[in-house]
Amino acid sequence: MTDAHEFIPAARPVIAEEEIEAAVRVLRSGMVVQGPEVAAFEEEFSELVDGRHCVAVNSGTSALHLALMALGIGPGDEVIVPSFSFAASANVVRLVGADVVFADIDADTFCLDPAAVEAAITPRTAAIMPVHLYGHPAAMDRIMAIAARHGLAVVEDACQAHAAALNGTPVGAFGAAGTFSFYPTKNMHSLEGGMISTGDAEVARTLRLLRNQGMEQRYANEIVGANVRMTDVSAAIGRVQRRKLDGWTEQRIANAAYLTEHISAPNVVTPKVAEGARHIYHQYTVRISGDRDAAMARLTEAGVGNAVYYPTPIHRLKPYWEPDQKAGRTWDLPETERAAAEVVSLPVHPALSARDLERIVAAVNALGEL
C-alpha cells in the first residue's frame, strides 16, 4: 500500500514472513533438494489444472523446453508461436532443433489468432504453442479443434496465466502439456521455478527423467536428460504462494474492473475480455494512441509505474531477424506490430490500495490532454 506521495510500482513481488519461515524451515531440515517439498507442491498445484500430473522444474523456460522434448518435437518439425511474447516462447523451439513459424495475434486478447494459426500450418507442422498473454486465455476451444483436425500437439505457454480459464476449463488443462513460471513478478512465485502439467502419465514420467539427468533411480540413466530440478526451498515458498493465489487473483480481477470502469481518456483503450474467459490480469495492458513515450513519461511523473511488454516482437529480435533476412523470409504480422507499438501495462497487483487505484485512474485520464 502506498500513500499519495509514493511511487506506485508496476509490479510488487511478495516475500512475506510466511514465505521466509517456509524457506528457513527447509534450510534447517537439511533436505534442500530432492526432498518432500517438491512432490507436495506438485500435488497442490495440480488442483489448478484439473488434477493433471505436475512436474516442477527450475524455470518457466525449462518447463517449455522439457515439454517440447517430452513430446518428441525436434529437427525437421515446425512449431507455430506468436511473435508477440517473451523470447523464451520461441527460443525453446530453436533449442530442440525445430523451426519457429510465427502467427499473428487477435487484436482484442493479444493471444494467437486461430485463423492465423490454421493458415500457418504446413506438412512439417508438429505443434502449436498458444501463449496466454498477460493472463488472458487464448482461444483454446478453436485451437484444440484445429490441432485435432491436423494431428498436432498443443503446448500451452501459461507462464503468465496461473488460474486463468476458458469456459470453466483452466489453462494448462487443454493441451498435451501446459507450462507455468514462478518468476518473482508472476502472480505467484517460488523465487525462480516452473511447472509442467500433462494428462499423460507416460509424458509425466519422461518429464521427470528429463529434469534429473535421465534418472529415476540413482546412476540408472534411462535417457539423456539435464539438471533442471526445483529446489525444496523454492517449492516450500511456492506452496505458501499457492495458498494465497486465489485471494490475490480475486483482488487483481477487482482492481482491473475498477480501472476499466473509471479510465475514460479518449486515447486509451482498456483491456477486452473474450466471452467465457477468466482473465487473471498478470498485466493490466492498455493501448495508447499517439505518442506512447510521452504518455509513459507523464505516468512516471505522476508516480504511476508502467512498462511495455513487449516493445520488440520476437521476429524482429536479432537471433530471428538476421537468419530470416538472409533466407529472404518475411512475416506478415500486422496486429503483432500494432500491439508492440501501442501497449502499456499499468499496476494491477493485489497490494494496491483504493487511493492507489484513484491515482492510477487520474494519471491515465490526464493523458487525454496529450
**Domain residue limits, the chain:** 17-241, 244-369
Query: SS3 string of the chain?
Result: CCCCCCCECCCCCCCCHHHHHHHHHHHHHCCCCCCHHHHHHHHHHHHHHCCCEEEEECCHHHHHHHHHHHCCCCCCCEEEEECCCCCHHHHHHHHCCCEEEEECECCCCCCECHHHHHHHCCCCEEEECCECHHHCCCCHHHHHHHHHHHCCEEEEECCCCCCCEECCEECCCCCCEEEEECCCCCCCCCCCCEEEEECCHHHHHHHHHHHECCECCCCCECCCCCECCCCHHHHHHHHHHHHHHHHHHHHHHHHHHHHHHHCCCCCEECCCCCCCEECCCCCEEEEECCCHHHHHHHHHHCCECCECCCCCCHHHCHHHHHHHHHHCCCCCCHHHHHHHHHEEEECCCCCCCHHHHHHHHHHHHHHHHC
Neighbouring residues of 9: CB distance < 8 A, sequence distance ≥ 6: 305, 347, 349
Per-residue model confidence as pLDDT tens digits over 127-147: 999 999 999 999 999 999 999
C-alpha cell of residue 23: 524457506
Q: Which CATH class is domain 244-369?
A: alpha beta
C-alpha cell of residue 353: 490500495
Per-residue model confidence as pLDDT tens digits over 320-370: 999 999 999 999 999 999 999 999 999 999 999 999 999 999 999 999 877
C-alpha cell of residue 75: 529437427
**Residue 131 to residue 83: CA distance in whole angstroms:** 10
C-alpha cell of residue 196: 509442467
Nearest residue to 205 (alpha-carbon basis) of 53, 369, 1, 47: 53
pLDDT 10s digit of each residue in the chain, 370 long?
A: 445 579 999 999 999 999 999 999 999 999 999 899 999 999 999 999 999 999 999 999 999 999 999 999 999 999 999 999 999 999 999 999 999 999 999 999 999 999 999 999 999 999 999 999 999 999 999 999 999 999 999 999 999 999 999 999 999 999 999 999 999 999 999 999 999 999 999 999 999 999 999 999 999 999 999 999 999 999 999 999 999 999 999 999 999 999 999 999 999 999 999 999 999 999 999 999 999 999 999 999 999 999 999 999 999 999 999 999 999 999 999 999 999 999 999 999 999 999 999 999 999 999 987 7
Contact 233, 26 (CB under 8 A): yes
Contact 271, 285 (CB under 8 A): yes
Neighbouring residues of 114: CB distance < 8 A, sequence distance ≥ 6: 139, 142, 143, 146
For residue 79, list its beta bridge partners: 100, 127
Residue with C-alpha cell 480459464?
165
Nearest residue to 133 (alpha-carbon basis) of 306, 271, 316: 271
CATH architecture of 17-241: 3-Layer(aba) Sandwich (3.40)
